[in-house]
Structure 1
Amino acid sequence: MVQTKFQMAHLTASEMREAVARSPVILLPFGSFEDQGPHMPMGDYLLAEDMAEKIARKASAAGHEVYVAPVLPFGGADFFGYMPGGIALSQSTLQAVLRDMLDSLLRHGLTRLIILNGHGGNCTMIHDVTRSIWLRDNVVVPSFYLWRVAASFLPQIVGAEQAAQSGGHGANPLTSIGMHVLPDLVRDDRIPQKHADQTAWGLNVSDFGTLDLDGALISVPLEGDCTASNGVGRGDPRLCSAETGARLTEKLVETGVKLVEHVVKQDVQEVSNKED
């Protein structure tokens, strides 16, 4: 079968029923709608959705049937409530939404599921829900935190020094990936031209919600406007580029395809073990 549709939303009801019988892999992209810096679109969920379709297309070309579920654009509330126009869900609400989404798919035997997460504030919630499903159904639903994995690739692509200087919220990896994937939405003219270390509560900022006390990282309940400048954390977005974004995207897609292949392999082995 040559797959021509990759978004579940594009399938007709009859096409969906036929696809379910073949046990496809379903990718569930999650993102956020928040401050990503003065130069980046607030809808960073667009990047997670785009990455999911790229992975689905490449995995399909490798012989796997993969579909992308409708993206959940609102992330779990954490540090970005200060942003006018931003929309976030409470952790308890988001947890209930994810649980219902997964249960809807599992009900019909769709167990080859992968979460493509594009927001740090979703991580704990995703772990709690997927762990409860594993305990209840013995089904493993892996979560691929896109931007954490992309950050791990950054030193290979730009070197350790530039990775350290450019990595952070409002900078790498999202700004570079945005420059590559959504060039018309990134405002190069609004990239901050000055970058300085931030202080809050009398201490140097290490990251969102984390301050440096003589080398010890201390968590504090401060929102992002206290620990960042216009949504930009410790990284310098002037060091980001579309070229870096293209290489990061390629690496993420390759990793996503490997994860699809592993999920299929594990599922086949489990079915075989049950039959034996």
Structure 2
Amino acid sequence: MRIQDMNWGQVEARVTQDDRCVLPIGSVEQHAYLSLATDMILAERISVEAAEPTGVPVFPCLPYGMASSFAAYPGTISLKLRTYLAVIEDMLDSLHRGGFRRILIVNGHGGNSPVNPLISEWLNAHPDASVKLHDWWRAPRTWAKVMETDPAASHASWMENFPWTRLDGAPVPSFSKDRIDFAAVARVDAQRKRERIAEGNYHGVFQRPDADMLAIWQVGVEETRHEIEHGWH
């Protein structure tokens, strides 16, 4: 259930019976020929679909994350580390104040991973709570399905090209891109990163058949639902 379909009284009543919630987090950044909002679209959609049978409320996706590597691409928005951690902490505090004690953070962007130490610190200050960070696309079963489908999978490649991240009027290339030099990209600033990454795909083809993508998506939904339903103690 999307939290926007509830009022505060309904939330107050619900948390007395079920104190779980889902908080998707994403990023607005370059994804080659796909939507700049790919990470937030996927994180929120998979959260909603996974939670739907459970009735667990899903908050709107936090759209902005840490994307400094892509700062030279127009449309990318990147929060500084200190800003991002402060935002996440404030959000966790708000959820806790509202009665939620089991919080699943569904992450759609690898650059957001530095929240792990913050979660550990926050839990020390809130021993009555449990927080899980679920990187949906690289969770074990989902990643295994990706690798089974095509091991040349990366940022802005086919593995993020779903019907709901594609753009009308933005056709994708039909070739397979060679793997970028990750070490060379890591040691330079955003402008030189852009020169070395080019359109944004790290490696692999830009698109695969929808049947492949929907099969991966189904695994991702099921794995995310398992996180909602299990492993809180």
Query: Residue in 2 aligned with 1:164?
Result: 151
Match of 2:119 in 1: 130
Relative to structure 1, is the Cα distance of residues 21 and 30 closer, same or farther in structure 2, using a 3 angstrom cutoff?
same
CA radius of gyration, larger in? 1
The answer to whether the 8 A contact 1:51-1:253 is kept is yes
Say if 2:226 is the partner of 1:245: no
Paired position in structure 1 for 2:145 = 153
Q: Is the 8 A contact 1:56 1:68 kept in 2?
A: yes
Question: Is 2:74 the counterpart of 1:74?
Answer: no
In 1, the alpha carbon distance for the partners of 2:63 and 2:10 equals: 25
* Consecutive unaligned residues in structure 2, runs of 5 or more: none
Equivalent runs, 1:130-209 vs 2, <5 Å: 130-138=119-127, 139-149=129-139, 150-156=142-148, 158=149, 163-165=150-152, 167-175=153-161, 178-179=162-163, 182=164, 185-187=166-168, 190-197=171-178, 205-207=180-182
- Consecutive unaligned residues of structure 1, counting only runs of 5 or more, are 1-5, 199-204, 212-217, 267-276
1:221 to 181, 188, 205: 188
Identity across matched positions, percent: 23
Write the mapping of 1:2-13 to structure 2, written as runs, cut at 5 A: 6-13=1-8
The two structures have a TM-score, normalised by structure 1, of: 0.75
Distance in 1, matches of 2:62 and 2:177, equals 34
Which residue does the alignment assign to 1:214?
none
The residue that corresponds to 2:13 in the other structure is: 18
CA distance in 1, matches of 2:61, 2:215: 24
- Counterparts of 1:54 and 1:23, CA distance in 2: 19
Secondary structure, counterpart of 1:48 in structure 2 = helix
TM-score (norm. length: structure 2):
0.88
Shift of 1:67: 0.7
Equivalent position of 2:84 in the other structure: 94
Instruction: Give 1:221 shift.
Output: 3.3
The one-letter amino acid of 1:174's match is E
Asked if 1:41 is matched to 2:41, the reply is: no
CA drift of 1:197 comes to 2.9
Matched letter for residue 143 of structure 1: L
Q: What is the CA–CA distance in structure 2 between the aligned matches of 1:235 and 1:194, rounded to whole Å?
A: 8
Contact kept in structure 1, 2:175 and 2:206, CA below 8 Å: no
Which structure exhibits the higher relative contact order, with contacts defined as CA atoms closer than 8 Å and separated by 6 or more residues?
A: 2
Other structure's SS at 1:173 match = helix
CA drift at 1:263: 4.1
